[in-house]
Amino acid sequence: MPTQVSEEVREALHEGRPVVALESTIIAHGLPRPRNLAVAVELEEAVRAGGAVPATVAVVDGTARVGLDGAQLTRIAQDPAVRKLGHRDLAPALAAGVTGATTVSATALLADAAGIRVFATGGLGGVHREWRETQDESADLRLLARVGITVVCAGVKSILDVPATLQRLETLGVTVVGYGTATFPGFYLTSSGEPVDWTLRSPGEVAEVMRARDGLGAPWSALVVANPVPEAEQLDPALHDRVLARGLAELKEKGVTGQAVTPFLLEYLTTHTDGASLEANLAAVRGNVRLAARIAEAYAAGGR
Ligand code: PSU
Ligand code: MN
């Protein structure tokens, strides 16, 4: 069954108006209920307030959808049977008629195929700290090496091995730029301490880079725009390090692996920081969504 692009999104794309894709795994598996539904609605509104059309991506009853209506968004947020779908899961999910939330990899694939150029999320997946034993590297990275979409994120999740993830992005040829920063953001934290090679300072500058890439012949990998959470809204770094260390130990004890690792650690942090990590996560996502709308607008406008 072909991907269903909502009428509103289809029209906007046809008319060259700005569209921002949003992923749904963060809604179904990255945030606690019932707050997740309110956030899903808020993120779509933030895209609209920025002058762009939101296109939340998910699989509903075996149909891949780009742009959800209210009932579909509610189902993704509330139904505990909603599965987590990376790009490799899309075909079996469609064939089996299941309902699932799309990760960065599946969202980028579907959004790019629909002709959407800008995508906002919280933090990318990447190389896990337990990589030596588990070989766990998010499928996000390899997929981002294949599609020419611009992804606005607060870096990669700090539960990961950040230097190893940056190295993989380099190897895979994914372009990474810091937005208003020369250091790579740390998701819950303003900075991961790792340097980035390029810094851009306005939506217009990002749009210029997108156009330069078009001129070189797209698609050839994603453009990652790493947008730090403001310092006033970051998680206390000492608390972050302390709680994460305990969460990683518990992960090992419980033998959690595969797709369950990321949701387990995000939830562990939320619980053991009394919700402070959740607030930092939300601040990061909000900032990314707002910036993505401005980038989509600058790109659609075609000039600086
Ligand atoms: N960013 C968030 N919360 C999330 C995720 C990203 O703020 O829940 C999700 C994204 O969908 C990302 C996924 O693609 O986590 C990575 O999971 P994994 O490590 O299993 O590939
Ligand atoms: Mn993983």
Q: How far is CA 57 from CA 5, 116, 127, 185, in A?
A: 9, 11, 24, 25
> pLDDT-based confidence at 296, cuts 50/70/90?
very high
| pLDDT bracket for residue 2 (50, 70, 90) | confident
Rounded Cα–Cα distance for residues 83 and 99 (Å): 7
Q: Is the pLDDT of residue 303 over 60?
A: no
What's the pLDDT score for residue 110? 98
Ligand 1 lined by 89 (C-beta under 6 Å): no
Locate the domains of the chain by residue range. 1-116
As a whole number of angstroms, the distance between CA 61 and CA 227 comes to: 34
Pair of tokens at residue 106: 């599946």
> Which two three-digit tokens encode residue 267?
């939830």
User: Among the CATH numbers 3.90.76.10, 3.40.50.1220, 3.40.1790.10, 1.10.150.120, which is that of 1-116?
Assistant: 3.40.1790.10
> Minimum-distance ligand to the CA of 86?
1
pLDDT at 302: 87
pLDDT over threshold 70, residue 219: no
Q: What is residue 275's predicted lDDT score, i.e. its pLDDT?
A: 96
From 152, 151, 59, select the one nearest 106 (Cα to Cα): 59
136: annotated binding-site residue?
yes
ipTM of the complex as predicted: 0.93
Asked if residue 121 has its Cβ within 6 Å of ligand 1, the reply is yes
Q: Averaged over 169-185, what is the pLDDT?
A: 97
Minimal-distance CA residue to ligand 1 atom 2: 122
* pTM (predicted TM-score): 0.96
Q: Does residue 123 have its Cβ closer than 6 Å to ligand 1?
A: yes
Which pLDDT band, with edges at 50, 70 and 90, does 217 fall under? confident
Binding site membership of 107 for ligand 1 (Cβ less than 6 Å):
no
Question: Could you say which ligand is closest to the alpha carbon of residue 157?
Answer: 1
Q: Binding residue per annotation — 112? A: no
Residue 253: which residues within 8 A CB-CB, separation 6 or more? none
Q: Ligand 1 mean position to 187 CA, how many Å? A: 12
Q: How much is the pLDDT for 1?
A: 66
Average pLDDT over residues 219-229: 92
Closest C-alpha residue for ligand 1 atom 4: 26
Does residue 9 contact residue 107 with C-beta atoms inside 8 Å? Answer: no
pLDDT of residue 263: 92
Does residue 259's CB lie within 6 angstroms of at least one atom of ligand 1?
A: yes
- Which ligand has its closest atom nearest to the C-alpha of 28? 1
- Please give the sequence-ordered ranges of beta strands (E in DSSP) within 158-220, or none if there are none: 175-179, 199-200
| Cβ(297)–Cβ(53) below 8 Å | no
C-beta separation of 25 from 108 below 8 A:
no
Give distance in angstroms: CA of 123 to centre of ligand 1.
7
The pair of structure tokens assigned to 287 is 């900032």
Interval 34-61: pLDDT, tens: 999 999 999 999 999 999 999 999 999 9
Task: Tell the residue nearest (CA) to atom 11 of ligand 1.
Answer: 103
Contact 55, 43 (CB under 8 A): no
For 279, phi and psi rounded to 5 degrees? -65, -40
Residue 304 has pLDDT above 60, yes or no: no
In the prediction, which pLDDT does 133 show?
A: 87
User: Cα(109)–Cα(296) distance, rounded to whole angstroms?
Assistant: 18
Q: What is the pLDDT of residues 59-98, one digit of tens each?
A: 999 999 999 999 999 999 999 999 999 999 999 999 999 9
Distance (angstroms) between ligand 1 centre and the Cα of 125 equals: 5
Q: Which of 61, 111, 105 is nearest to 83 (CA)?
A: 61
Please tell me what DSSP assigns to residue 137.
Answer: B
Asked if residue 287 has its Cβ within 6 Å of ligand 1, the reply is no
